[in-house]
Amino acid sequence: MSKAVLAKGEPKLLNAWAFYDWATSVYNLTVSSAVFPLFLGTLFRISEVETVEVFGRNIERVPLIGYVTSISFVIIALITPLISGVADYLGNKKVFLRFFTYLGAFGCIGLYWFSLEHIYWGLFSYMCGLIGAWVSFAVYNSYLPDIAYPEQQDKLSAKGFSMGYVGSVLLLIFNLIMVLFPHYFGLEDSEGMPAAVKGMKISFATVGVWWIAFSQYSFYHLPKGYKREGKRRNIILNGFRELKMVWNQLQELLTLKRYLRAFFVYGMAVQTIMLIAAYFGEKEIEWGTDENRQVGLISSILLIQLVAILGAYGMAWAAKKFGNIKTLVVVNVFWILLCIYAFTMVTPIDFYIGATMVGLVMGGIQALSRSTYSKYLPETTDTTSFFSFYDVTEKIGIIIGTFVFGYISEFEGGTRNAALFFTLFFLFGALLLTKVNKVKD
């Protein structure tokens, strides 16, 4: 007997969609934001080196991660339209959600064997985790207008991010205990490998296991997808054709076009900062000891997640009261102040204050950006293509942003100057937002 298909807007379906955030957000917190930046910095300090040779070039860890991230997003930006074309015409987007979930999860598990001696394997695993996380999240985003009505989307989007914060915080607390008290888990120091580092490596594996296990609930309840009617020639290239069709439609959808232009600019800065911020904190803040660095950095990331729950719902409330665009303009101004403050940060207290400020706007700007885009979409069942365009826009911004951050960090005065430079993106983004002609705000 086959399971019943849940109707659009049904609470169980909405909860199943939001629960995927619970499953996947552990990657963003443990690998992208907290433990991996700490782990990478520790490897460099243990080896007593400032650079590592990659393809015949010696490079420091922060620019290296910036460039690797940029390359990863080139791949992500190319993959997403391909998936869009196949998913729309075959109606099997859940197949891709599963595939990239498993790719990302096994990439995280592969980080257990990361070392400077085997840097290429480590970077490959890092890229698989990053690609899996972002492509699966793009497919997940495209479900939003399929399963929720417009009046449900702001609240549901915020709920998804909030569930992600709670789940990822729980796992990070467990991993933090394992890193700080590794002997509780039977981990001991060995030659060239402190017990804390072993705990970090195991934490990467826990992310992969968590991601696979908890995503099964979403896989069970989410619909397979919506099959596109009509001819199915050149399915592989249809995703790029769909992007071109969306682009052509944007010429008549002026409000959506202006919003996407603004989103491209400020999203470039938001996502780059979120991807690189922990490396900034690990390198630039004067923590004093390795233990202080471990406790301080992970605690700061935890603080961000907890504050972000309030921030996501607070921004949803502000959007309902003042409108999406006005709220986004104010948040961009807040990010400008944050970048200026980051340039001055030196002590752990400075970093904690900055983390609190970031938490207030980090999740909220993502949730509100996603739901604003969804509300501006025309009436269509072709949601995958429109969200593919949204995600490709975001990914191209990240490619530019991470490359710019890596370049400025390496050649133009370091990570502090790079953080300060990003104020320009937020300023321009805020100005573009003021030009959006609100229709459904």
Closest CA to 259 of 432, 42, 111, 39: 432
Residues 250/381/365/333 CA torsion (nearest 10 deg): 20
Alpha carbons within 13 A on the beta-carbon side of 240: 6
| Domain CATH number, residue 398 | 1.20.1250.20
pLDDT at 138: 79
How many domains is the chain built from?
1
Output the pLDDT for position 233: 59
Report pLDDT for 214. Answer: 94
In the prediction, which pLDDT does 232 show? 56
Phi–psi pair at 226, nearest 5 degrees: -120, 120
Q: Could you read off the pLDDT tens digit of each residue along the chain, which spans 441 residues?
A: 456 677 776 778 888 888 898 999 889 878 887 788 888 888 888 887 877 888 888 888 888 888 888 899 889 888 877 776 666 666 678 888 899 999 999 999 999 999 888 889 999 999 999 999 988 887 887 777 777 777 777 778 778 877 887 888 889 889 888 988 888 888 888 877 888 889 999 999 999 999 999 999 888 888 876 665 555 555 666 667 777 777 787 777 778 888 888 999 998 888 888 777 777 887 788 887 777 887 888 788 778 777 877 787 788 788 888 888 888 999 899 999 988 998 888 888 988 888 888 888 876 787 788 778 877 787 765 666 777 788 788 888 888 888 888 888 777 767 788 888 888 999 999 999 888 855 444
- Residue 5 in any domain: the answer is no
For residue 439, is it within any domain? no
What does the alpha-carbon distance between residue 371 and residue 259 come to, in Å, rounded to a whole number? 12
- 408-415 CB contacts, 8 Å cutoff, 24+ apart: 409/60, 409/62, 409/63, 409/66, 410/59, 410/60, 410/63, 414/284, 415/62, 415/276, 415/279, 415/280, 415/283, 415/284
CB 423 within 8 A of CB 268: no
Specify if 27 maps to a domain: yes
Q: Supply the range of the domain harboring residue 429.
A: 11-227+236-433
User: Structure pTM?
Assistant: 0.76
Classify residue 3: in a domain, yes or no.
no
Q: If you ran DSSP here, which 8-state letter would residue 252 be given?
A: T
